Amino acid sequence: MNGFIEGETIVVTGGASGIGAATATLAARLGLRVVVWDLAQVPGGSIVDVRDPDAVAAGFAAAGPVRYLVNNAGPASGGPALAFTDGLTATAGSVEAVTSAWLATGPPDGSAVVNVASVAGNLVGTDSAWYSAGKAAIAGYTRHLATRIAPRIRANAVAPGFIDTPRMAGFADTPLGRALVERNPMRRAGRPEDVAAAVLFLLSPAAAYVNGVLLPVDGGWVVTQ
């Protein structure tokens, strides 16, 4: 499906849970060789903290030629409080560092990267200053990439809305969570698989002329009045 060549390698950061895990599962179903990086060990994965350049370099050395990259790992907006620049570095700096390390390996023609931003980067303000700013930075960095590494390599991003992942456990039952679902044109939270399908499309040869987009995967939250 989507024109993938069987056995090509994809790295999914933060692939042990939520959106990353769904992306890894779908990629495997589509015939790709999946390498998951996460803070925790999972079958078929490695412990790679995307904030650690040595770990990232070792990860690429171990992975062999990587055609597809999904920069999905990042700190939660509701997680431990971070200073603004520390949050930006963990959110957007890690995406730049992993992507630069990948580009230095010389990915083959037809490679592609998808970065996971958020509606918090283009639509919604959150309690966390660095989260919204970091996700907006990822979108800007994606546009930079799209103009600098094409035509050999494409770069796109997704902006998930409210996706029911372990990170968001219980949120759907809070007053805010219920209100968001009620206002959403699709009348439900997103599923990790909804985002995974968009990520795999953007990576795939079927999206050969799609470059530099920020694709909302939010059920229409962006266009809700």
Ligand X SMILES: NC(=O)c1ccc[n+]([C@@H]2O[C@H](COP(=O)([O-])OP(=O)(O)OC[C@H]3O[C@@H](n4cnc5c(N)ncnc54)[C@H](O)[C@@H]3O)[C@@H](O)[C@H]2O)c1
**Site residues for ligand X, window 98-137 (CB under 6 A)?**
116, 118
Residue 153 and residue 193 in contact, taking contact as beta carbons nearer than 8 Å: no
| 150 vs 224 by CB, closer to ligand X | 224
CA gap 163, 145 in Å, rounded? 26
Residue of 68, 131, 141, 209 marked active site: 131
40 binds ligand X (CB under 6 A): yes
Any contact of residue 184 with ligand X (CB under 6 A)?
no
- What are the residues whose beta carbons fall under 8 Å from the beta carbon of 181, sequence distance 6 or more? 162, 172, 187, 188, 189
Alpha-carbon distance of 19 to 34, in angstroms, equals 14
Q: Which of 123, 124, 168, 210 binds ligand X (CB under 6 A)?
A: 168
Strand order in the sheet with 68-71: 45-47, 33-38, 9-13, 68-71, 111-116, 153-160, 214-217
| Residue 167 lies near ligand X (rule: CB under 6 A) | yes
Q: CB nearer to ligand X: give 110 or 172.
A: 172
Is 19 a binding residue for ligand X by CB under 6 A? The answer is: yes
- Rounded distance, CA 198 to CA 50, Å? 22
Binding of residue 93 to ligand X (CB under 6 A)? no
Peptide bond into 192 cis (omega under 30): no
The pattern of x and - marking residues 144 through 163 that bind ligand X according to CB under 6 A reads ----------------x-xx
Report the residue number, 6 or 55, with the smaller CB distance to ligand X.
55
If the CB atoms of residues 166 and 205 are measured against ligand X, the closer one turns out to be: 166
Name which of 15, 56, 22 is nearest 38 in CA terms: 15
Q: 3-class SS at 78?
A: coil
Q: By CB under 6 A, is residue 194 in contact with ligand X?
A: no
Pick 4 or 131: Cβ nearer ligand X: 131
Q: Which of 33, 51, 67, 154 binds ligand X (CB under 6 A)?
A: 51
Beta bridge partners of 70: 12, 114
Q: List 190's β-bridge partners, or say none.
A: 163
Does residue number 39 form part of the binding site for ligand X (CB under 6 A)?
A: yes
Q: Is 209 considered catalytic here?
A: no
> Is residue 38 involved in binding ligand X (CB under 6 A)?
yes
Q: Taking the complex as a whole, how short is the minimal distance between the CB of residue 210 and ligand X, in angstroms?
A: 20
In sequence order, the β-bridge partners of residue 113 are 69, 155
- What residues are labeled active site? 131
The residue ranges that bind ligand X (CB under 6 A) are 13-14, 16-20, 37-40, 49-51, 72-75, 116, 118, 160, 162-163, 165-168
